Structure 1
């Protein structure tokens, strides 16, 4: 027991040392000095505390944000466009982790008025929600070991697909950011309630989706219970054959948490890169 406590203490000291070095690198690069502590810990976690790799990942993310400022800046969750987006998709990070300490996030497209759906607003809102998640611990005061995403396209219509196709460059930038620059260790992607429309969506993104990520995608047909082969019932919501509440309950709970991050999301200074060469 004493030996384990000593090891934990040593690991904690090492992590603090690496974190402080990371802060120094960020200061020398003239990035924002006010970047969120938990966000930076995530970059270190997914890089196995390799400072060079963590810094490269962070820098790449900041650069991608500049290239699509309409997605990553001027983000007020109280405006009409974002409030409408709340009704056309559901972003649900589940609090209960898998036994491997993986977090499951469900992104669901319920049946809705397709005329209200705007793919740019939905993508911007989803990126805001990811950024909010990155500033919170997942397991007490600890970080998760990996992330699993479930995409439920039960209500995604052909009209919504046409809207997404019209804004394909935005969709590809969103995919590129999550694939190349997010502080995430991806374990798997699950797409459920699939239809022929989803084939079209995958056709849009497949050219830029790395082979190793394509291999992590699992498909589940409408009405099937195949997700139970991958997850414990007490982790999955009732909607997918589990016992962990309903999607609607999780979404309402998440929106309350998300709203507490409004000031953080409004502050564009976190993501600016200095152009001062002196």
Structure 2
């Protein structure tokens, strides 16, 4: 059973996080008939991620649970023992690295295990990323930042063609506007020759702030050490933090031992019939899907 982070410890470790402010935010959620019931820890996570802004935290909470309701491809059927999730865990390593940065930033790392694009499923990979992020947030609480590293070694153009543009758009909206993250960096390591195609897929949906935190590292990846110390990183990108396979094996065990947690999280959805004002749908969040049908890689 998951041991949740102690919310009182969150106040002690984060002097800018005030219990009165968190309880005020929690009270607001209770008065929103369309929102699920949140814990004090969850309210604290959202408020901390929004640097204490009550209004920003309210928007993030609403976006978070609205996305989780209207994007079943990412947030439904999250049983880690299911065939879909077991298949993507075989194909892709997605994990939290053991060491935080000196700035107290959590590092998420993703890399293909199996480079055959037939086994690649972007939506399932995002589902696993969110499961890992949710587990990390609830178990360890607030951190000063979150860094995402995508290792593209072994990636082919076929992987890019299998990555739906609409799915990328939805994911980047969720990442930037709906996750209780303080996103401090987005890095591609072991850069491939067609990085322009990958960047062409993601950059149109990145806000200016995230584009300014976007970095691509080639060859020996020496440039990433300007941002993240070598001892925080796995050997696959030139770090001293050991092989990713060992780190991922531990992460996979954590996922597979918390089926009850993920079952509980899946129930946290908005009830659009109870939303004050006009109910929302996927189009309200992401716009007209027909606008982005195909990625041109010529």
For the criterion TM > 0.5, the same-fold answer is: yes
- When structure 1 is superposed on structure 2, of 146-155 and 258-267 the one drifting more is 258-267
Are the structure 2 counterparts of residues 36 and 153 from structure 1 closer, same or farther at C-alpha, using a change threshold of 3 Å? farther
1:135-150 pair list within 5 angstroms: 135-137=138-140, 143-150=142-149
Shift of 1:12: 6.8
Query: Does 1:196 pair with 2:211?
Result: no
Deviations 1:12-49 (A, max 9, x none): 7972222222221111002222x354333221111222
- 1: CA distance between counterparts of 2:60 and 2:143? 18
Partner of 1:184, secondary structure, is coil
* TM-score, normalising length: structure 1: 0.86
| Structure 1 residue ranges (4+ consecutive) displaced by more than 6 angstroms after TM superposition | 11-14
Shift of 1:207: 1.6
* TM-score, normalising length: structure 2: 0.80
Are the structure 2 counterparts of residues 51 and 203 from structure 1 closer, same or farther at C-alpha, using a change threshold of 3 Å? same
Query: Does 1:174 pair with 2:178?
Result: no
RMSD, matched Cα: 2.4
Partner of 1:92, secondary structure, is strand
**Number of residue equivalences:** 264
Aligned to 1:77: 80
1:117-132 pair list within 5 angstroms: 117-132=120-135
Are the structure 2 counterparts of residues 118 and 12 from structure 1 closer, same or farther at C-alpha, using a change threshold of 3 Å? closer
Gaps of 5+ in 1: 1-7
Partner of 1:234, secondary structure, is helix
2:68 to 65, 68, 71: 65
Gaps of 5+ in 2: 1-10, 277-298
Deviations 1:145-170 (A, max 9, x none): 11111110002122212211xx2212
Deviations 1:181-218 (A, max 9, x none): 11111111111111133321221222221122111111
Query: Does 1:211 pair with 2:215?
Result: no
Partner of 2:95, secondary structure, is strand
Query: Does 1:32 pair with 2:39?
Result: no
CA contact (8 A) 2:23 2:40 kept: no
- 2: CA distance between counterparts of 1:245 and 1:39? 32
